[in-house]
């Protein structure tokens, strides 16, 4: 039972480069989301999706794009990486858009030089 | 601006001790309050979910309570064990969209000493 799988686990980028963080879940969850975690701060919501074809912005969406073409996958794209995007990124999913246990991936640590 | 505050930021206790972790939040109009555990270098694991109409939830040695009127939630851990060492995070609903979007506190780092 894989749960929520994130790749890559570690990535180093140069300023201005673009990349995609992958997230896949095998639980047929409707809801998926991306958070970033920075030292001394709580996790902050970047983007979320309540179903295939539906995405919306969270607290800190600038510099990131998402799409949800299938129920299983929710990739996060960094358009032009900046040092301020150095962080640990977590993908999460749950059964429905409302209540329910939130399942997290193990995180992707991104460093932007 | 909503805030979620967790006190203390770090806590060390001897094995076997009962302990309470605190979480306070602004804006009592919340729907859900969740507690998570995070081990170093790992993702978050959901521990307990308290819906707005509930006052508490229990799972094994863990009990979480919610008092919306005072803007507080507590996580009680009974008979602590070294394996309980981790960072504990509380989170409330971020917005009124009805989606499972959460606003997190910064956590309490718990160390249980054998």
Return the pLDDT at A99. 64
Residues A89 and B32: beta-carbon distance below 8 Å: no
Worst-scoring range by mean pLDDT, A5-19, A54-68, B18-32?
B18-32
Query: Which of A2, A9, A42, A89 should be substituted to probe chain B, the one whose Cβ sees the most B Cβ atoms within 10 Å?
Result: A42
Return the pLDDT at B28. 67
Return the pLDDT at A47. 97
Mean pLDDT of A62-90: 97
Q: If pLDDT is split at 50, 70 and 90, which confidence band does A40 have? A: confident
Of A31, A99, A106, the CB nearest to B43: A106
For chain A, what is the mean pLDDT?
A: 94
Compute the residue count for chain A.
113
Q: Note the helical H segments in chain A.
A: none
Of A59, A96, A107, the CB nearest to B43: A107
Return the pLDDT at A19. 96
Integer Cα distance of A60 and A31 in angstroms: 18
pLDDT at A52 exceeding the cut of 90: yes
B residues 51-90 closer than 8 Å to A (CB) = 51, 89
Contact check, Cβ <8 Å, A43/B97: no
Partners of residue A35 in chain B, C-beta under 8 Å: 104
Of B32, B89, B101, the CB nearest to A99: B32
- Cβ–Cβ contact A31 with B under 8 A: yes
Distance from chain centroid for Cα A27: 17
pLDDT at B53 exceeding the cut of 70: yes
pLDDT at A1 exceeding the cut of 70: no
Residues A36 and A108: beta-carbon distance below 8 Å: no
- The pLDDT tens digits of the residues spanning B73-114 come to 999 999 999 999 999 999 988 777 777 889 999 999 999 999
Partners of residue A102 in chain B, C-beta under 8 Å: 34, 36, 44, 46, 100, 102
What DSSP element (H or E) covers A66?
strand A64-66
Angle at A63 between CA B97 and CA B35, to 5 degrees: 45
Angstroms from A62 CA to nearest CA on chain B: 17
pLDDT at B68 exceeding the cut of 70: yes
Percent of chain A whose predicted confidence (pLDDT) is above 70: 96
Query: Which of B33, B99, B107 should be substituted to probe chain A, the one whose Cβ sees the most A Cβ atoms within 10 Å?
Result: B99
pLDDT at A77 exceeding the cut of 90: yes
Return the pLDDT at B82. 97
Mean pLDDT of A88-112: 90
- The pLDDT tens digits of the residues spanning B25-36 come to 887 676 788 999
- Cβ–Cβ contact A51 with B under 8 A: no
Burial bucket for residue B113 (CB in 10 Å: 0-12, 13-18, 19+):
exposed
Integer Cα distance of A58 and B93 in angstroms: 12
Return the pLDDT at B52. 80
Half-sphere exposure of B106 (CA within 13 A, CB side): 11
């Amino acid at each position: 039972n894989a749960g929520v799988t994130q790749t890559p686990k570690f990535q180093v980028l140069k300023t201005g480069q673009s990349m995609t963080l992958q997230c896949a879940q095998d639980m047929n969850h409707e809801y998926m989301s991306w958070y970033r975690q920075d030292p001394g701060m709580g996790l902050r919501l970047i983007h979320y999706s309540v179903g295939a074809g539906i995405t919306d912005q969270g607290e800190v969406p600038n510099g990131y794009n998402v799409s949800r073409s299938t129920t299983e996958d929710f990739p996060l794209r960094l358009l032009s990486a900046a040092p301020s995007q150095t962080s640990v990124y977590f993908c999460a999913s749950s059964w429905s858009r409302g209540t329910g246990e939130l399942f997290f991936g193990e995180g992707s640590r991104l460093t932007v030089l | 601006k909503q805030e979620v505050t967790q006190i203390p930021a770090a806590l060390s206790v001897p094995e076997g001790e009962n302990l309470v972790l605190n979480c306070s939040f602004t804006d009592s109009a919340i729907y859900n309050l969740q507690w998570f555990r995070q081990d170093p270098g790992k993702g978050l694991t959901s521990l307990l979910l308290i819906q707005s109409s509930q006052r508490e939830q229990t799972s094994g040695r863990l009990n979480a309570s919610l008092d919306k009127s005072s803007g507080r939630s507590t996580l009680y851990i009974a008979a602590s064990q070294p394996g309980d060492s981790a960072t504990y995070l509380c989170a409330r609903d971020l917005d009124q969209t009805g989606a499972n979007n959460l606003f997190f506190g910064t956590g309490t780092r718990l160390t249980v000493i054998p």
